Structure 1
């Protein structure tokens, strides 16, 4: 499929294609700030009772979903991914136990109301539990915007560390693309520094995908009515992000869904028809991959939907969390092509302003009063 001019001239197109360079720039940032980051993180990670909570809204929440699933095994500790939208709505259900907490906040702009409220609520509740959480909540902020409120508020704050990503990752397009992958890579490398050695492999593999972008774009020519993304473990979070990308960039003209290969049989498979594209995100884990193979066999035998496997060559030896960084690139290309095929403007798929790049209209209610007491 030829690439329409409106795709190649969009900011979103440029931000998708800049990702290998952004990851290399991140490598330099982590190399330079590594000692300070380790001085902040290592004493916390030495505490066996530390609870790590990863948070963000929308795409930033999916960064937390992927990272939590990817980091539990190497860190051998508890990690919870809780969207800021859940945390702000019911903070006492998140911070309800006497364990030290490291709150990791992911934010492209850092200006979303929930992003700012989440860190403040965490501190407020830590003060309420002062006898049990003697040193309060610690904050690691991973953000793409030096002048966002979250970065400005936390840079000099007590018990906080702001990891500012390369400037180009503060995407100007509607959808999060390079901000998503670079925040995810930053989190994986921050907690497992050995992953810095894998950045070049990821960048090389993604460059090859970008050089043959038309292969993935053909999957949405013509655009399907529905798209389903299936993945397990860390790739379940990527499946969620993939569905959101298609939904956002097509302004809802393509209905998009996500699930795990095993979970899909338990009802959601009912949506499959001959206008559906099912995309399987294959795991590199030999055990988990058996379930990918099973659902592929089943769907192909049904011969109803179009079924594709989204894979990126050149990722041999990498765990699924890191592979998700590169697998996101063809997902973004697919969503971008679907957007243009539907006649949308990728940088502004909602010209009427019904959905915004930075969420508007959110009112943050005070924690006390109005039924906000202990439950």
Structure 2
């Protein structure tokens, strides 16, 4: 009998969670497929990007909505530090409401869009907004759906490049899982000055091992009912904490309340949310300075004795792996595997259907109900 994360695949199917379970589990395979695809696309990508990232005047905007926006937030500082150009993460939902604050009509601009389906109204509207306001802007679309509107509308545009993820990464389940990690790793690989798709093979091997090692303890942790889950992270891992918190909120249909914050910022008010039904999970940074600050907070939370549990994910943590000395942004997909598994189990514990927790259609896999307004009408 085949099992996934301590549960038979037939059981996942019966409770409406098999798609999500499989999509979490197959991420190492997706990363290997992505590495091969990026290698094949390397020359075309190099021709499209040229030496533009070396231009200090170039503005690179990493954009998306929801989970896709967090992809940009995790990687923005890593890419910005590697190039003379100016790199910033700005969600589509912010670009559309305040374009004058974020777009410079005279500045050369590369809009990097992250999109699982490529069909959300904000994704399409953000691209059109930049086309309208920034003459000569260029567009790198990192998407999982070749048939989505984002990919289709750019096919014949010489100022656009569609970088497609492995087809199976276009998650069937409600929550973004393999789509998230594939898009994150693709952007890191192609925007890295040394173009390093081979790192994906190393990461995939670590993920294979981690999924096996973590399956039992994650399932045991998720069997303990809590009403609140707080994820913490420093630097790029603060955005990872946001994504991990969103996964719990989505897959439990809001039944478990979540919060995300930085290790140092948590004391400045948000710590008040901790009660006896709270699980605190901190993503440990690879940076030695950050780890000192994180350890101080961990010691404090454990001395307080208020939270139901205080655990860590990352090198040397409660959920750990023997990783290379890589930056936090590169390791983020590995640590996210634990959070995805935990959210999946929490959904099952609450007797929800993980593949679609919102059976009433209040929240949808592709956002609905958005009216797009033209920027020049006001």
Q: TM-score, normalised by structure 2?
A: 0.93
Alpha-carbon distance between aligned partners in 1 of 2:22 and 2:221, rounded to the nearest angstrom:
21
**Which of 7, 28, 31 is matched with 2:12 structurally?**
7
**318-327 vs 105-114, greater mean Cα deviation:** 318-327
- Runs of 4+ aligned residues of structure 1 deviating over 6 Å after TM superposition are none
Shift of 1:92: 1.8
Secondary structure of the residue that 2:134 maps to in structure 1? helix
SS at 2:196 equivalent: helix
Hey, what does 1:358 align to over in structure 2?
Answer: 366
Partner of 1:26: 34
Aligned-pair CA distance for 1:76: 4.8
SS at match of 1:67: helix
| Structure 1 vs Structure 2 CA RMSD | 1.5
Task: Determine the structure 2 residue equivalent to 1:186.
Answer: 186
* 1:273-325 deviation digits (Å, cap 9, x = unpaired): 11000000000011111111111111111111110001231322111011001
Moved more, 244-253 or 188-197: 188-197
Confirm whether residue 262 of structure 1 aligns to residue 270 of structure 2.
no
5+ long unaligned stretches in structure 2: 315-319
Deviations 1:7-38 (A, max 9, x none): 36510000001100000000011100000001
Question: 2:230, 2:259 within 8 Å by CA — same for their partners in 1?
Answer: yes
Query: What is residue 201 of structure 2 aligned with on the other side?
Result: 200
What does 1:25-44 correspond to in 2, within 5 Å?
25-44=33-52
CA distance in 1, matches of 2:133, 2:84: 27
Aligned-pair distance for 1:176? 0.3
Equivalent residue for 2:317?
Answer: none
How far has the Cα of 1:99 moved from its partner? 2.0
Question: How do residues 1-375 of structure 1 correspond to structure 2 at under 5 angstroms?
Answer: 2-3=6-7, 6-7=11-12, 10-96=18-104, 98-127=106-135, 136-192=136-192, 193-212=194-213, 213-305=215-307, 306-311=309-314, 312-369=320-377, 371=378
Query: What displacement does 1:122 show?
Result: 0.4
Tell me how many residue pairs correspond in the alignment. Answer: 362
Q: Which digits, 9 at most, give the CA deviation of each residue in 1:84-110, with x for residues without a partner?
A: 111112222211363211110000000
Q: Which moved more, 1:44-53 or 1:174-183?
A: 44-53
Check conservation: 2:63, 2:89, Cα contact below 8 A. yes
* Partner-residue secondary structure (3-state), 1:364: coil
Gaps of at least 5 residues in structure 1 are: 128-135
**Residue 132 of structure 1 aligns with which residue?**
none
1:78 shift after superposition: 2.2
Partners of 1:3 and 1:214 within 8 A in 2: no
Given that 2:104 and 2:134 are in contact with CA atoms closer than 8 Å, whether structure 1 keeps it comes out as no
Q: Please, which moves more after superposition, 36-45 or 324-333? A: 36-45
Give the match's secondary structure for 1:196.
coil
SS in 2 for 1:120: helix
TM-score, normalised by the number of residues in structure 1: 0.93
Q: Is the 8 A contact 1:50 1:99 kept in 2?
A: yes
Q: CA deviation at 1:43?
A: 2.6
Q: Determine if contact 2:105/2:133 at 8 Å carries over to the other structure.
A: no
CA contact (8 A) 1:70 1:233 kept: no
